[in-house]
Amino acid sequence: MVSDSNSTDIYNADLSSGITAFDTKNFTMAYQLLAPLAAQGNAESQWRLGMMQMNGLGMVENQALGLDNFLLAAEQGHVFAHHMIGVAYMTGEGADKDILKAVEWFEKAAEFGIPGPMYTLGMLYEEGKEVTQDLAKSQFWYDKAAKVDSE
């Protein structure tokens, strides 16, 4: 029993320290602490590793691997992973550009009640460049995002 408690304490300490290192832009330390946890299936670690890989933070950029980590985190319901998968498909970074998949992922992310993907959907429908322009859908997403922002 003692070893289980100790390993849980070490796991939590590594996660906390890894998040702090990431947040303070010490990406080398963040990678050292978070990579083993990501390999064990920790969604927060997978998302942060994906952010580092996608943007070349503290390592050589590897967008495809970043997307893989976002997908692993999203499978576990990580909110921001859903949003970043939408961004990857919208921009073609780490994946083949596919606006319909991007919209699908932004809609999934919006279900978590975060405004970013809602604003993005509003913008896409307002511009009508990559999806059919739909000002009613655009206004729906802008209104929904504004409501979340005001809560």
137 in a domain, yes or no?
A: no
What is the per-residue pLDDT for 8? 76
What is the per-residue pLDDT for 65? 96
CA–CA distance, 36 with 40 (Å, rounded to integer): 6
Q: What pTM value is reported for the model?
A: 0.88
148 in a domain, yes or no?
A: no
Instruction: Indicate the DSSP class of residue 151.
Output: -
53 in a domain, yes or no?
A: yes
The CATH number linked to 23 is: 1.25.40.10
13 in a domain, yes or no?
A: yes
What is the per-residue pLDDT for 1? 36
- Count structural domains, the chain: 1
What is the per-residue pLDDT for 5? 60
Q: Which domain, by its residues, includes 90?
A: 2-112
119 in a domain, yes or no?
A: no
140 in a domain, yes or no?
A: no
Instruction: Indicate the DSSP class of residue 78.
Output: -
- Kindly report the number of other CB atoms within 10 A of residue 149's CB atom: 11
pLDDT digits (tens, 9 = 90+) for 116-125: 999 999 999 9
34 in a domain, yes or no?
A: yes
In a structure prediction context, what are the per-residue pLDDT tens digits for the chain, which is 151 residues long?
A: 334 566 777 778 899 999 999 999 999 999 999 999 999 999 999 999 999 999 999 999 999 999 999 999 999 999 999 999 999 999 999 999 999 999 999 999 999 999 999 999 999 999 999 999 999 999 999 999 999 988 7
What is the per-residue pLDDT for 131? 95
Counting other chains too, the contacts that 122-127 makes at CB distance below 8 Å and 24 or more residues apart are: 124/90, 124/99
127 in a domain, yes or no?
A: no
What is the per-residue pLDDT for 3? 42
What is the per-residue pLDDT for 149? 84
